[in-house]
Structure 1
Amino acid sequence: MTIPRITGVELAGGPDLPLLLVGPSLGTSATALWSAVAERLGDAFHVVGWNPPGHDGARVRDPFTMAELARGVLAFARGVTAARGDADRSFSYAGDSLGGAVGLHLLLDAPEAVRTAALLCTGARIGTPDAWRERAATVRASGTPSMIEGSAKRWFAPGFPEREPSTVAALLHALQDTDAEGYALACEALADFDVRDRLDGITAPVLAIAGAEDVPTPPELLAEIASGVRLGRYEVLEGVAHLAPAEAPDRVAELLRAHLRAPEAPTPDGVRDAGMAVRRQVLGDAHVDRAIAATTDFTADFQEFITRYAWGSVWTRPGLDRRSRSMITLTALIARGHHEELAMHVRAALRNGLTVGEIEEVVLQSAIYCGVPDANSAFRVAQGVLAEEGLA
């Protein structure tokens, strides 16, 4: 067994704050990928990054598996917690692509170590074994500079390199400086990586963040993670490709801050604020803004009621992920014939990660247990919504 020696870097915050360990994508570094997010989280977390073998300027020659890489990261994390003087050696974790794959192994193989995790632009399996081994051979023959052109196309959404040339330059420079053998060995580790059949063994809360423009790890891979783990949540970032922490640091920091913070006893205002945040995430800003604008003195108390109790006290509970809550809500609305609310929640279900096929299955199931006429009306309402969204 090979346990790679992992090096890291302090990115933000200090040891008096909760530890957040962050992992980079293949061919990048923790500094290049995570610095912008860390800067935004430094008031709330001690952000420490780790670098894969060969991605820190060192040469590497010993092969490793993804599970072994995760053990190396765990050993590094234990060193960090010891240096901090933590009695509790657990930590929060966030990782992009390769870093996300390592996160899955940490959650599976060291569940006591990871309190909660955010997995970005990754998958329980990424790519195909043949493609990874072919890339490893290319890098061994031509070096990491041979990866720059293809990586620039895979990593960034259209228009981002023109908007943020310095960010792109830093990431591509990190790729060029990566040890070729270290890069190739990581490719071979990814070729054998597949934990799809183990996702239901993950019990820690997991936030899966997808880039809508991501080709290497498309959104459906993140939806698979969110639905496969016990406590999963799914978010899609529009206009983002494969390196979400660099492409959308404000949005990523906002999502991580909300997901990773230690739970506190909610105050009435906190419940209301949490409810409004979830209401906007599930229904969309445009819908919520219309509802607020239409509020009158007569309806104000009711709007406050549903924000606090429906959204702030129920939709925020960790016992079900949002995909499951959407399925339950669709079924209840079909059963009661609430068609206006049904249309709204079909849109919400899409936003929460349900596919068109899954919505169809919910309606078919409802036909058996709620009645065919109810399902017939539901299909008509859902078909209209899907047509408006360009999905039917």
Structure 2
Amino acid sequence: MSPAVATVDFGGPEEGPLILLGPSLGTSAATLWGAVAERLSAQARVVGWDLPGHGRSRPGGPSSIAELAAAVVELADRHGAETFHYAGDSVGGCVGLQIALDASDRMATATLLCTGAVIGTPDGWRDRAAAVRADGVAAMVDAAPGRWFAPGFPEQHPGVCAALLDSLRHTDPQSYAHICEALADFDVVAQLPDIVTPVLAVAGSEDLPTPPESLQLIAAGVRDGEVVVLDGVGHLAPAEAPDRVAALIAQRAGLPQRPATQTPDDVYRAGMAVRREVLGDAHVDRATAAADELTTDFQRMITEYAWGGIWTRPGLDRRSRSMITLTALIARGHHEEFAMHLRAARRNGLSNDEIKELIMQTAIYCGVPDANSAFRIASDVLPDVDRRGDA
């Protein structure tokens, strides 16, 4: 029998597609996903679910990740949806992987954030379960900010953090321990090649429990996977970067990227969100900070037309756009931009080997001297990306 999970109906048009949102351990759907849901509910029916003993759910007994996955599919049944889009953070992402294995015909797309095909170690999870049973969740509350958030986020967004920590504080200890034990038994690394559902794996660059490598493993292992790394984001990406997360889910679900009455400011905001996702916050912050009376209009034009007008189009994924962009920059000899877009390409999921093959291809169609310059720049940039882990 599937565990009973409470739901949070965030609203949206009844005729719209169904998007189900899965939580992280110790959080509630309302506190983790509320800001994202607000951005999605104009175009889709958005429903979150709470783990047993979390948020609105009653305390529950032992339940496996597979049993939680079955409960989510039953939730889609209750909403009359033959298929649904799914997004889940941490253990919610594990549940998404399990649904993709057990009910691939039901889940149209999966956006899996800050998660893994296996997370931590079995002994580590069982030790945590024993600690919570002995001492309650108080110790987890004390440790959570360092585990959940990117450096500086609690100081900049104290209200968001306080709400999430309050959810943890009110979590049933036994239910929390049961989920720890479910995670101790969860390992689907060997089964990733069986997943046919399109998967977008979203990592936080500052995530300690599930670092970017964990999401890259998922994207590389499934049949149709893509990875995005969010700069300056920790383990609870939906709460830390709701604009960027909502845009990724909307794009994956095929929702219209812009309202019909979109204003230039709307285009600019959408473009800025994508520009930050592709180039990274640090680069965009430097560019905007350096803008002056002479260059401010130029910076806005780039954001509005290149990023808001082209990079937001649904016809190509970002990996493909990165490959096209790198090729064009090599052909035109734009070396500074090429170096910048090498970092962007890694953030969009291209490997060093794929970049090497791309440059080899340009040697034939753009010229050996251009490819030679590209290899020289890549030899400088890519080791730094690998060392810093900021792809």
TM-score between the two structures when normalised by the length of structure 2: 0.77
Deviation of the 1:36 alpha carbon: 1.5
Provide closer, same or farther for how the CA distance between residues 331 and 191 of structure 1 changes in structure 2, counting only shifts above 3 A.
farther
Question: Residues 364 and 375 of structure 1 are in contact (CA less than 8 Å); yes or no, is this contact kept in structure 2?
Answer: no
- Could you tell me which residue of structure 2 aligns to residue 190 of structure 1? 183
- One-letter amino acid matched to 1:122: T
Provide closer, same or farther for how the CA distance between residues 112 and 215 of structure 1 changes in structure 2, counting only shifts above 3 A.
same
- One-letter amino acid matched to 2:348: N
Question: Residues 100 and 107 of structure 2 are in contact (CA less than 8 Å); yes or no, is this contact kept in structure 1?
Answer: yes
Once the two structures are superposed, the pairs formed by residues 137-156 of structure 1 within 5 Å of their partners are 137-156=130-149
For 2:327 and 2:122, how far apart are their aligned partners in 1?
Answer: 40
Deviation of the 1:203 alpha carbon: 2.5
Deviation of the 1:349 alpha carbon: 2.1
Deviation of the 1:375 alpha carbon: 7.3
- Could you tell me which residue of structure 1 aligns to residue 58 of structure 2? 58
- One-letter amino acid matched to 1:60: G
For 2:180 and 2:346, how far apart are their aligned partners in 1?
Answer: 33
Which secondary structure state, in structure 2, belongs to the residue aligned with residue 122 of structure 1?
coil
- Could you tell me which residue of structure 1 aligns to residue 113 of structure 2? 120
- Could you tell me which residue of structure 1 aligns to residue 347 of structure 2? 351
Deviation of the 1:373 alpha carbon: 8.7
Question: Residues 50 and 57 of structure 2 are in contact (CA less than 8 Å); yes or no, is this contact kept in structure 1?
Answer: no
- Give the fraction of aligned pairs with identical amino acids, expressed as a percent: 52
- Could you tell me which residue of structure 2 aligns to residue 15 of structure 1? 14
Once the two structures are superposed, the pairs formed by residues 202-281 of structure 1 within 5 Å of their partners are 202-262=195-255, 280=275
Note the residue ranges of structure 1 that are not aligned, 5 or more in a row. Answer: 82-87, 295-303
- One-letter amino acid matched to 1:29: S
Question: Residues 331 and 362 of structure 1 are in contact (CA less than 8 Å); yes or no, is this contact kept in structure 2?
Answer: no
Provide closer, same or farther for how the CA distance between residues 365 and 207 of structure 1 changes in structure 2, counting only shifts above 3 A.
closer
For 2:354 and 2:41, how far apart are their aligned partners in 1?
Answer: 44
Provide closer, same or farther for how the CA distance between residues 127 and 174 of structure 1 changes in structure 2, counting only shifts above 3 A.
same
Correspondence for 1:385 among 381, 384, 388 = 381
Deviation of the 1:250 alpha carbon: 2.0
For 2:162 and 2:273, how far apart are their aligned partners in 1?
Answer: 36
- One-letter amino acid matched to 1:191: A
- Could you tell me which residue of structure 2 aligns to residue 85 of structure 1? none
Which secondary structure state, in structure 2, belongs to the residue aligned with residue 115 of structure 1?
strand
Provide closer, same or farther for how the CA distance between residues 369 and 18 of structure 1 changes in structure 2, counting only shifts above 3 A.
closer
RMSD: 4.1
Correspondence for 1:176 among 169, 173, 196 = 169
- Could you tell me which residue of structure 1 aligns to residue 302 of structure 2? none
Deviation of the 1:165 alpha carbon: 2.1
For 2:191 and 2:320, how far apart are their aligned partners in 1?
Answer: 19
Note the residue ranges of structure 2 that are not aligned, 5 or more in a row. Answer: 300-304
Question: Residues 227 and 323 of structure 1 are in contact (CA less than 8 Å); yes or no, is this contact kept in structure 2?
Answer: no
For 1:144 and 1:244, how far apart are their aligned partners in 2?
Answer: 22
Deviation of the 1:364 alpha carbon: 7.9
For 1:343 and 1:205, how far apart are their aligned partners in 2?
Answer: 30
For 2:68 and 2:171, how far apart are their aligned partners in 1?
Answer: 17
- One-letter amino acid matched to 1:170: A
Deviation of the 1:168 alpha carbon: 1.6
Provide closer, same or farther for how the CA distance between residues 368 and 346 of structure 1 changes in structure 2, counting only shifts above 3 A.
closer
> What is the total number of aligned residue pairs between the two structures?
366
TM-score between the two structures when normalised by the length of structure 1: 0.77
For 1:197 and 1:331, how far apart are their aligned partners in 2?
Answer: 35
Question: Residues 28 and 174 of structure 1 are in contact (CA less than 8 Å); yes or no, is this contact kept in structure 2?
Answer: yes
Deviation of the 1:179 alpha carbon: 1.4
Offset from partner CA, 1:339-387 (integer Å, 9 cap, x none): 8475454233222134xxx415753897799799987654422123347
For 2:354 and 2:46, how far apart are their aligned partners in 1?
Answer: 42
Question: Residues 362 and 371 of structure 2 are in contact (CA less than 8 Å); yes or no, is this contact kept in structure 1?
Answer: no
Offset from partner CA, 1:102-160 (integer Å, 9 cap, x none): 01111221111111121111111111111111111111111122211112221112222
Provide closer, same or farther for how the CA distance between residues 328 and 359 of structure 1 changes in structure 2, counting only shifts above 3 A.
farther
Which secondary structure state, in structure 1, belongs to the residue aligned with residue 144 of structure 2?
helix
- Could you tell me which residue of structure 1 aligns to residue 42 of structure 2? 43
